[in-house]
Amino acid sequence: MPHLVILYSGNLDAIVDMPALCRDAADAMLAVRDEAGAQVFPTGGTRVLAYPAPHFALADGGVAGRAVGSGKTGISSPDPGEYAFMYANLRMARGRSAATQQAAGQAITAALRARLDPLMATRHIGLTVQVDEGPEVFDAKHSTLHPLFKKP
Amino acid sequence: MPHLVILYSGNLDAIVDMPALCRDAADAMLAVRDEAGAQVFPTGGTRVLAYPAPHFALADGGVAGRAVGSGKTGISSPDPGEYAFMYANLRMARGRSAATQQAAGQAITAALRARLDPLMATRHIGLTVQVDEGPEVFDAKHSTLHPLFKKP
Amino acid sequence: MPHLVILYSGNLDAIVDMPALCRDAADAMLAVRDEAGAQVFPTGGTRVLAYPAPHFALADGGVAGRAVGSGKTGISSPDPGEYAFMYANLRMARGRSAATQQAAGQAITAALRARLDPLMATRHIGLTVQVDEGPEVFDAKHSTLHPLFKKP
């Protein structure tokens, strides 16, 4: 924990540098601090995984976008009926304060928007970011990655 | 929101028109009405993402299917030991009535069954549809897709 | 139900036999027994789906791994800055005892560790296994796979 899983319509791969977006999101998570100024997410446990969906259906499938066309809305993408969507879900451990949860969500949102806003200006793209508290009833971790970041 | 995420064994890609199935599911979601007759899911926020799993293991891996063979069960697929599975999970916002939640689940199930039932008749396929109320503690949306569907 | 979904950094595909790992996990699930000695997960409903993430960001991206290098930690992978991660999430039905939930989680963890531990000895890899009780508000199943395993 924490795990940020990004699900998105596969057509974004052609216009978004996804490895860089993942790195930005991870860096944003690592920079989150709690009310006492302590790092919230342990470095060795911070993970971002992004999955392009090869198959998807969004909204009305492009009808409204094509009907409105490019001119009226500032949308200048080659096909105004081609919609795209990104959903980012952070699962974090239970017990964090509401302020810390909001800070984490806002940090991730800011990182993703920094990459997507320029594209959104000319394309029909939706972004949703949600944070869940893990409801797990069993939790096991085993790692040779975590120890790299343990204080001696 | 809402997000319908479909996870399935990758062997279905060869026999199911997944882009069409996604579109059918989205259309089914868009047609859901609440008790007052209002559209439940906003058009611009309706998303279906489908992910074939390149690696999977189902049930006993095919032993029972091959043992029974094709003759006794009406299964006429080339390999009766080749199982397939689809799992559809709808995450919808909190606060909807139980009747609306059921209607949403039933609409999606019907859409998926319309595509899968003919295949199920001759193959060993399992389908599960579940609806969750999103438990998010943080929620942010940003979109140039939603505004396309705003009433003027 | 139950569904085991495995999300992992795509770089593991080169070093882990994922089809075999999925099968091992399914077999481990099928072997779980409750306090009365009964099989917990129905054979026809046991599913494992594994998804390599084509894009990901882990921890500090490799800085610490490369700084420490191979010599000091026993890490002998070609690139000590190449981290990997696997997250396994089991969603099981509500109403099982805590002991059964723990047994399921431990069985899956053991199966995954049997495949990953040898790799972890020489690489920076993290594994997390979590079990959730499904919070679904709607649940529908349709299957021509389940009946294969029904007692006559």
Using a CB-CB cut-off of 8 Å, the residues of chain C touching A5 are 7
Residue by residue, DSSP assigns A53-111 as ESEEEETTTTHHHHHHTTTTT---SS-TT--EEEEEEEEE-TT--HHHHHHHHHHHHHH
Residue by residue, DSSP assigns B106-129 as HHHHHHHHHHHHHHHTTSEEEEEE
Check pLDDT > 70 for residue B74: no
Residue type at B28 in one-letter notation: A
C-alpha span between B27 and B35 (Å, rounded): 19
The interface predicted TM-score of the complex, written ipTM, equals 0.94
Check pLDDT > 90 for residue B67: no
Element (H, E) at B29: helix B18-30
- The distance of C68 to chain B (nearest Cα, Å) reads 34
Among A5, A48, A144, select the one facing C57 at the smallest CB separation.
A48
Most B CBs within 10 A among C8, C47, C146, hence the mutation to make, goes to C47
Q: What percent of chain A has pLDDT over 90?
A: 80
Residue A44 structure tokens = 């060795």
Supply the pTM of this predicted model.
0.95
- The distance of C151 to chain A (nearest Cα, Å) reads 31
Most C CBs within 10 A among A48, A144, A149, A151, hence the mutation to make, goes to A144
B57 to C47: CB separation less than 8 angstroms, yes or no = yes
> Per residue in C65-124, pLDDT tens?
988 865 555 666 778 899 999 999 999 999 999 999 999 999 999 999 999 999 999 899
